């Protein structure tokens, strides 16, 4: 199949796959995903921690997240440092885990993640602006400059071509903004039509194979271009296809 008929067929299959994947059984101890931990708390700050550490082997991600005491987000700096002094995950040493907890605790003492994000996002309905505002806020509240921490939080993004895809941030936003049997819909001030695909290697490769993405470089521009294609399938909710594409790649269905 080529051209228009091919696109119609792919849309039909993706609609079917998205509908099939939109059930609670898709996120379970048998089908692990970091959102499994986030679901327990249904809290934006805890969800962001779950999302930012969501890289690597999913079993190890969930194991690490299960080891964290999220009540520390209301404790003193000294208590946080003492409790997390032996916690580390891949590129992040204990000092990096501690830095994230203290920065988020300080943010919540005066404002919320949603308020900081929406204030920047509202300027031009650009989620990248909102992400940059949150990264900038975390840096200002607890300055901490290490390779592991910079990887965890990402750097402020001023370009799309050649830039990191901000996958973990985009996934966090999907969790916060969309609401179905997978995503939690904890925020109301952001439109799901403005979300950008959380592009990982699975969705990148699957999307290229399906002809949904022509760009050969894995970067933020590729995530935006894929989102534009999916917006032609559903202009109001392009990310409803994200979890389906991810599982198709993860389970090697193609």
What would the pLDDT profile of 62-105 be if each residue is shown by its tens digit? 999 999 999 999 999 999 999 999 999 999 999 999 999 999 99
d(CA 202, CA 87): 29
* In the block, residue with structure tokens 């327990």: 40
Q: What is the mean pLDDT of residues 181-203?
A: 96
Task: Spell out the domain ranges in the chain.
Answer: 3-250
Query: What confidence score (pLDDT) does residue 248 get?
Result: 86
3-state helix, strand, coil in the chain (%, to 5): 60, 0, 35
Q: How many residues does the chain have?
A: 254
Residue scoring higher pLDDT (253 or 56): 56
Q: Is the pLDDT of residue 202 over 90?
A: no
What would the pLDDT profile of 5-60 be if each residue is shown by its tens digit? 788 999 999 999 999 999 989 989 888 999 999 999 999 999 999 999 999 999 99
Percent of the chain with pLDDT over 90: 89
Strand partners, 179: 184
Rounded to two decimals, the pTM is 0.96
Is there a contact between 209 and 251 (Cβ–Cβ < 8 Å)? no
The overall average pLDDT reported for the chain is 95
Cα atoms found within 13 Å of the Cα of residue 231, Cβ hemisphere only: 14
d(CA 31, CA 110): 37
């Amino acid at each position: 199949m080529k051209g228009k008929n091919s696109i119609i067929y792919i849309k039909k299959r993706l609609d079917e796959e998205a509908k099939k994947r939109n059930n609670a059984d898709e996120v379970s101890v048998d089908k692990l995903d970091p959102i499994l931990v986030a679901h327990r708390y249904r809290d934006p700050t805890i969800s962001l921690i779950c999302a930012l550490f969501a890289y690597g082997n999913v079993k190890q991600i969930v194991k690490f997240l299960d080891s964290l005491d999220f009540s520390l987000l209301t404790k003193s700096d000294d208590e946080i440092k003492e409790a997390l002094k032996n916690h580390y995950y891949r590129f992040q040493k204990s000092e990096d885990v501690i830095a994230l907890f203290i920065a988020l605790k300080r943010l919540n003492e005066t404002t919320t993640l949603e308020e900081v994000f929406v204030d920047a996002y509202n300027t031009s309905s650009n989620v990248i602006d909102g992400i940059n505002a949150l990264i900038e806020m975390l840096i200002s509240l607890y300055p901490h400059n290490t390779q592991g921490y910079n990887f965890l939080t990402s750097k402020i993004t001023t370009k799309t071509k050649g830039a990191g895809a901000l996958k973990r941030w985009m996934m966090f936003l999907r969790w916060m903004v969309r609401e179905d049997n997978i995503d939690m819909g904890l925020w109301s001030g952001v439109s799901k039509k403005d979300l950008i695909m959380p592009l990982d290697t699975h969705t990148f490769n699957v999307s290229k194979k399906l002809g949904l993405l022509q760009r050969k470089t894995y970067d933020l521009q590729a995530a935006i271009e894929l989102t534009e294609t999916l917006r032609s399938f559903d202009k109001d909710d392009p990310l409803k296809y994200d979890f389906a594409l991810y599982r198709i790649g993860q389970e090697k269905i193609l």
